[in-house]
Amino acid sequence: MKRLVIITVGKTHSGKTTFARALEQELSNSLVIDQDNHAEFINTYYKKLLPKQGTNTIKYAITQTIVDYAVEQTKFHLILCNSNRIRKGRLELLKHFHEMGFINILVNFDIPEHILRKRVAESRRSKTIFRSASSFEEVLIRQQAESHIGDILEPTKDEADYLFEITNSDEIQSVIHRIVNIAQST
């Protein structure tokens, strides 16, 4: 049986974590790896180690260590739950997993902006994950501005073995069902 790697793509409050947790419940032998958990851990216990600006290299190092361990020491299907909006990094990640024999699945959350704004306004999520932002509203505004520049691109069908698009919450169960079917057919 081949292992799956499911990679979420989307802006803050688009439903990536909710989806990942629901998929983990339905997909036997799976594990969610969520960078927000790593950011919260670092910000709680190792804030002094955070870079003042630029890439959060310590967060990526912790995530990479956890992913490497899960790949090498377990047989879990992996659900990588973070934004993955930068195409170059996403392609490198997909290539890496492809070379290790994983079936690559991208789940792109393309939720309308007015819904994201409403979710952010009503959010009760911990802000401990922040390094350079003061609110989820600030994160969303930044992500909206970034969407029109550089390498931040929506995933395309040629990037992975499977690509699923979620544009509203009603589609989540269907996508979960389809991913479970892919796992069962390998």
Q: Is 4 exposed, middle or buried (0-12, 13-18, 19+ CB in 10 A)?
A: buried
Domain interval for residue 117: 4-184
* CATH number of the domain residue 116 falls in: 3.40.50.300
pLDDT in tens, 17-59: 999 999 999 999 999 999 999 999 999 999 999 888 888 899 9
Supply the pTM of this predicted model.
0.91
The total number of structural domains that make up the chain: 1
Q: What are residue 11's phi and psi, to 5 degrees?
A: -80, 170
Question: How far apart are the C-alpha atoms of 39 and 44, rounded to whole Å?
Answer: 8
Q: What is the pLDDT of residues 140-184, one digit of tens each?
A: 778 787 766 767 778 999 999 999 999 999 999 999 999 999 999
How far lies 146's CA from each of 80, 84, 149, in Å?
Answer: 22, 13, 5
Give me the phi and psi of 163, to 5 degrees please.
Answer: -130, 125
